[in-house]
Amino acid sequence: MKRILFLYCVISPVLSFSQAFNYNSKVSFAIETYAFLKGQNTALQKIAVQFPQLKPNVTVAEKNLKTVFGRAEKNLKQFLKEELNHKQYNSLQNYLDSLLHHQFPNQIEKEKYAHDFLLKVQERSNNINNEMLSKGILSFKYHDAPHQEITDGHVDFFTTENHPKAEETSLTIPIPKSWLAEEAEMPQTIQQFTSYYGNGNEKILIVVYDLPEELQGIKLTEKSIASILPPNTKLFRSEAVTIDGLPALMIEVEESLQYHKDSMKVRMLQFMLVQNQKLYCLQGSIGPEEAHEDLELQIEKFEPLFRLIASRAELDE
């Protein structure tokens, strides 16, 4: 084998494996990301066996990878164990082991190729030039605490300025780098972002309503908001907050809806303020999920992220 820089080539057969078992997009995304990390570790182990003189270099590389990717790999394993049954999880591990074994059927031809790979690993720990893999690693690194992606500096800033759906509106918010920006169908929704690089069930929406005449001058309170909520929406709590120093209101609600003839629901935290006859709403949501699902733990998990985004939003009038 002339080269061992094969790891991106692992993704294609792994994707076929995911499709064969009809996993949802988030599980498939996790499997592809996990396969990359597992393959990288396997390659280092092979170098250490074939070139004992490079073991110190391999040890340094493994320690570096554990520092950079260890949390993501740990969270990926835990996520896959939760999403897959025991038989499916073992089948996945066996498939990956077989796949990686066939990627290394022979000896590495030259020590130079091993050195090249170690250098590549060092570069990759600082920057992965494959967007899907970099987003996957970020997504699952912060799977257990999504808000830390922003606090650790992995953040983009989205502004509504010059956006075709945001006339006379300029709002800037921080967004985790692993979330995918998507166009929204509703005309009032300027932009939406979906977790796990578009594969998750969590969304952040920027919504701006032009207030009708009868609601202009509305004071945001739990009572006033409850009076205009859709009838299929349950209000759990409200809290006075600020957005860019302006008085605002946070509410937690759950909306029931029919989705492809199924009874579903969406749990939301909405951060609202009124400015210049417009109602601004930063919405973080979980779902849609089946109506019988309890979304309490999920909303608790993502609440620190949703609050952080609202607290760092800037409104430029």
The CATH number assigned to the domain holding 255 equals 3.40.1000.10
Q: What local confidence, expressed as pLDDT, does residue 49 receive?
A: 86
**Residue where one domain finishes, among candidates 141, 174, 204:** 141
Do residue 72 and residue 162 come from a single domain? no
**Residue where one domain finishes, among candidates 141, 165, 182:** 141
Write the DSSP assignment of 60-123 as a string of letters.
Answer: HHHHHHHHHHHHHHHHHHHHHHHHS-HHHHHHHHHHHHHHHHHH--S--S-HHHHHHHHHHHHH
**Residue where one domain finishes, among candidates 141, 173, 194:** 141
Residues in the chain: 317
> Does any domain span residue 223?
yes
Tell me how many domains the chain contains.
2
The set of residues, in sequence order, having a beta carbon less than 8 Å from that of 272 and lying 6+ positions away, is: 220, 225, 248, 249, 250, 251, 279, 280, 281, 282
Do residue 191 and residue 104 come from a single domain? no
Q: What local confidence, expressed as pLDDT, does residue 98 receive?
A: 86
> Does any domain span residue 2?
no
Q: What local confidence, expressed as pLDDT, does residue 11 receive?
A: 46
Q: What local confidence, expressed as pLDDT, does residue 39 receive?
A: 85
Residue by residue, pLDDT tens for the chain (317 residues) are 444 444 444 445 455 555 556 788 999 999 999 988 988 888 888 888 888 998 999 999 889 889 999 999 999 999 999 999 999 999 999 988 888 877 665 667 678 888 888 888 887 777 777 888 999 999 999 999 999 999 999 999 999 887 777 777 788 999 999 999 998 888 889 999 999 999 999 999 999 888 888 888 788 899 988 888 888 999 999 999 999 999 999 999 999 988 778 899 999 999 999 888 888 999 999 999 998 999 999 999 999 999 999 999 998 76
Do residue 54 and residue 179 come from a single domain? no
Q: What local confidence, expressed as pLDDT, does residue 104 receive?
A: 64
Do residue 93 and residue 211 come from a single domain? no
> Long-range contacts made by residues 94-97, C-beta under 8 angstroms, separation at least 24?
95/17, 96/14, 96/34, 96/35, 96/38, 96/39
Do residue 168 and residue 185 come from a single domain? yes
**Structural domain for 222, as ranges:** 148-315
Q: What local confidence, expressed as pLDDT, does residue 10 receive?
A: 46
Do residue 115 and residue 158 come from a single domain? no
Do residue 106 and residue 179 come from a single domain? no
> Does any domain span residue 1?
no
Do residue 217 and residue 121 come from a single domain? no
209 DSSP β-pair partners = 279
